[in-house]
Amino acid sequence: MEEIPQQELPATYEWFADQIAGHHPSVIKNGKREIGLLKKRGSDKILKPKQEGFRGECEVNVYKLLARALRHSTSGDVSDGSGGDTDSDGWPGISMEDAEGLARMTPRFYGLTSVPIDKKDVDFLILEDVTSTYSLPAILDVKMGRITYDPVASATKREKEKRKYPPQTVLGFRLLGYRMHCKDGKIVVKDKEWGKSYDEYNILDDFSHVFPSNSQLDTNYIVGLNELHSKVKSILEKFSSMSASQTSTIEHH
């Protein structure tokens, strides 16, 4: 079998080493390597490939809404003069205050950029690298949501997604893997197949290798996660007018 060459990146860029799931340059599809998360060397930002079509436009618009909400919270101003709501952006009934709550739990958005890869310009979202301040990050990637396909997906695509991980319709999330940097320099990695080994019956088992074993830290994490759950639930209830399918969350410590 002919080996597929690595993509040619500009000299100042590199693939984000701690990417866990999603499109990844190690994956070959239709004879081409996928384009994953990119990073400018030494930067505190990540470049995420812009998805094609409907999903890509929706993702960008959500990030723009959240960025605008943060600007509103610090300056009291909004760029289009629409006041304290987002009706003019196609988000009826969602206030800037509600959007701000979600924005504070989301990587900051710094706009779009284009990077030449294999002599072809590729569009990317510029996002905050939330792991950049950690010397030994432990990153758990979780796909949230019971529905893993978008509203315009074909019947075939919907059925394929449902078969991927049936427990997701019960749990409301799926573990995609983790990367844990250890003090001895080793990196412990688990992928999506590890995540699929858990279901609604054993999901709480054997997480001592992901979270700290110190009892006090365990208590703090549980309290913190409960608080985060309450905040997310409250915000999503306010966003009930939006149809949300799936999203990814990164738990890092």
Residue 71's SS3 state is helix
Contact 118, 25 (CB under 8 A): no
Task: For 175-193, write each residue's pLDDT tens digit.
Answer: 999 999 999 999 999 999 9
Task: For 91-130, write each residue's pLDDT tens digit.
Answer: 666 777 778 888 888 899 999 999 999 889 999 999 999 9
Cα–Cα dist 37/138, whole Å? 18
Is the pLDDT at 238 greater than 50, yes or no? Answer: yes
Task: For 15-61, write each residue's pLDDT tens digit.
Answer: 999 999 888 887 788 778 889 999 999 999 999 999 988 889 989 99
- Which residues make Cβ contacts (< 8 Å) with residue 249, sequence separation at least 6? 141, 142, 144
- Higher pLDDT: 207 or 101? It is 101
> Mean pLDDT throughout 205-220?
61
- Looking at the domain covering 136-253, what would its CATH class be? alpha beta
Task: Single out the residue of 38, 50, 46 nearest to residue 7, CA to CA.
Answer: 38
In terms of DSSP H, where are the helices of 81-126? 96-103
Where in the sequence of the chain do the CATH 3.30.470.160 domains occur? Answer: 136-253
The answer to pTM > 0.85 is: no
**What is the crossing angle of helices 53-75 and 96-103, to 10°?**
100
- Which residues make Cβ contacts (< 8 Å) with residue 53, sequence separation at least 6? none
